Amino acid sequence: MQNFINRFFFILPASPKQLVILVILFVVMSVLEAFGIGMIGPFLNLASHPNLVNESEFVASIYAGLNLTEASHGIALLGLFIIALFAIKSFLNWQIKTYVFGFCLKVRGKLCEKLIQEYLSVPYTFHLSKDSAAVIQCIIIYTQAFALDILMPILNSAANLMIIIALSGLLLMTSQLVVIVLIFLFLPLILILNAFKDKIKYWGKRVSYADESIIRIVNHSLGGIKETKVIGCSGFFEEQLSEQSREYIEAGTFLLSFQVVPRILVEAILILFLVGITSTMILLGQDIDGFIPALSIFALSSIRLLPAISNLSKDVSKLRSMTYVLERLSHDLREIETLKNSEVSNRTVVTKISQLADHKFKNKDFGQIIFDGVTYQYPGSESPAISDVSLSIRKGESIAFIGQSGAGKTTLVDIMLGLLIPQGGDIKIDDISIYNNLRSWQNMIGYIPQSIFLMADTIERNIAFGVADDLIDHKRLQQALEMAQLMDLVKELPDGINTMVGERGVRLSGGQRQRIGIARALYHERDILVLDEATSALDNETESLVTESIKSLSGIKTMIMIAHRLTTIQHCDRLYVMEKGRIVRSGTYNEIVLGNIQS
């Protein structure tokens, strides 16, 4: 229970004070509920025995104070008061429900924002070990589950609990013996719920696992739609989805059916109680007429207690089934927090941040990039991926890292991009560490990977990636298109730069996608271009066109390349050969490539 509470408040993106306000409103509602029902008994008693006006000094004093001469006038006035009370209660109940719905949905929205912010700002190593289906599930499904299946049931439980307490107090004042009998009648319900609590958690976890698996299967099958169709393995994915759907149906059916059990039992218990106590009084020859007001209070209280108790039981069951959701959300948020702290710790190894406060790096405002003894080891790895790498790259220079797969080229580039934080060494712009202001450093870099990410949107929006429509600089856009040699393509298209590229750019050729990636880097006016095997997936003719686009930028931009095809790096000023995370050779293209051929 304590773990549940701690996780809940750790995840909740709202002030606990708002919950306190809601609880106060619930208390007011429950008092009005009990007071309104409590007035029904005196009203019926007075209506059936008008002579009580004269027999009761208290009632007589009220009549005298209100200047009422007829008993019927007082009864009618009391009836109007009860009607007004229930009208106010109903309106207040509607207002509170509306506020609760809005509050829960607002929490869901804030939690979505919080999660996407955390997932985007977390160190890159988090995503290396995390399944995207699990991340999507947390952002879309678990945030909704937290708001509607955890937060709302908690608030509803608080409201129902207040009503149960208030009405129980009313019943206790009416007849203590009857309340004791009711408690004993409800004991079986409590025992049943307690007996199934672990089972409910288990089935809730199975539903979550099945849900995550379904998202993953859909991602895999549609994400690789070409391969799925060509290989003819659609049946494989369909069978996997069918299996997980069966799992989801089985677990979900148990959870939903169990939520109905409390209401059925509560209804049976209350009906048994009301019929039983009335029948017992008749059999014992008791005066039922005098018991009608009290019986009416019990009947009306039961009508309100029935949904309150059954909903409370259902919500408790639902909360138990949602335990896994809290575990997953809190686990991810704590893992992100730990990684961020670890990243800060790594940075203090790299540089003493306090000595250089928020230096702003600027494009074209540097002499060289310096790698000084950079070392990096992946979490859980036994040996470093990058070991004591030192080199310098002059402004406007084009360099390339070459070597076999696993040599550490991409890891070194990821460190340069600020995605991985080295455990040792430093990267500097002239004499200032990039880790003093990593965001400012990243604003200098244009990254062009082997597989360009394109949104299912227009060419314009894909080039001006992350920029709102009204802020797009069309002059810069034109310049980027020309420098990336895309202008001819755009002119040929009926919709020009407003042409939709399709999901992941499926309506464009590989070369066109790569050149959009280059145009994107140029539009954002990044002075340093990092090309990670940007042409390795292209055919020779297309590669030649893209390479020409890259060559045209030589001397204008500082370019850092990773390549397997040596023909694409002939224009580079220097090559660095990597083996096992180290630079083993460096020199010009002629010295490294042609020298090897001649030898």
Q: CB of 560 within 8 A of CB of 399?
A: yes
pLDDT for 513 equals 85
Average pLDDT rounded to a whole number, residues 328-337 = 88
Determine the pLDDT at residue 597: 47
Question: Is the model's pLDDT at 319 over the cut of 60?
Answer: yes
Average pLDDT over residues 168-194: 72
Express each pLDDT in 244-267 by its tens digit: 888 888 888 887 777 777 767 777
In the chain, domain spans: 366-592
Residue 356 above 70 pLDDT? no
Q: What is the pLDDT of residues 512-541, one digit of tens each?
A: 888 888 888 888 888 888 888 776 656 666
Give how far Cα 418 sits from Cα of 233, 285, 362, 370, Å: 39, 88, 16, 14
Which has the higher per-residue pLDDT, 132 or 55?
132
Left (φ > 0), alpha (ψ -120 to 50) or beta: where does 587 sit? left
DSSP 138-178: IIIIIHHIIIIIIIHHHHHHHHHHHHHHHHHHHHHHH-HHH
pTM beyond cutoff 0.85? no
Residues 395 and 368 sit within 8 Å (Cβ to Cβ): yes
Query: Judging by DSSP bridges, how do beta strands 528-532 and 398-402 pair with one another?
Result: unpaired
Task: Look up the CATH superfamily of 366-592.
Answer: P-loop containing nucleotide triphosphate hydrolases (3.40.50.300)
Other beta carbons within 10 angstroms of residue 472's beta carbon come to 15
pLDDT band at 593 (very low <50, low <70, confident <90, very high): confident
CA atoms within 13 A on the CB side of 154: 21
CB 203, CB 259: distance < 8 Å: no
pLDDT at residue 41 tops 80 = no
Helix (H, G, I), strand (E, B) or coil at 586: strand
> What pLDDT does residue 391 have?
93
pLDDT above 90 covers what percent of the chain?
Answer: 7
Q: Which of 53-67, 225-239, 305-319, 355-369 has the highest mean pLDDT?
A: 305-319
Query: Cβ(248)–Cβ(207) under 8 Å?
Result: yes
* Structure confidence by residue, pLDDT tens digits, 165-176: 888 787 777 767
What is the bridge-based pairing of β-strands 386-394 and 368-376?
antiparallel
Q: What is the pLDDT of residues 201-241, one digit of tens each?
A: 788 888 888 888 888 788 777 766 655 765 677 788 888 88
Contact criterion met (CB below 8 Å) for 293 and 37: no
Q: What is the Cα–Cα distance from 250 to 348, expressed in whole angstroms?
A: 51
Partnered with residue 500 across adjacent β-strands are: 458
pLDDT category of residue 401 using cuts at 50, 70 and 90: very high
- Residue 596 above 70 pLDDT? no
Whether residue 598 is predicted with pLDDT greater than 60 in this model: the reply is no
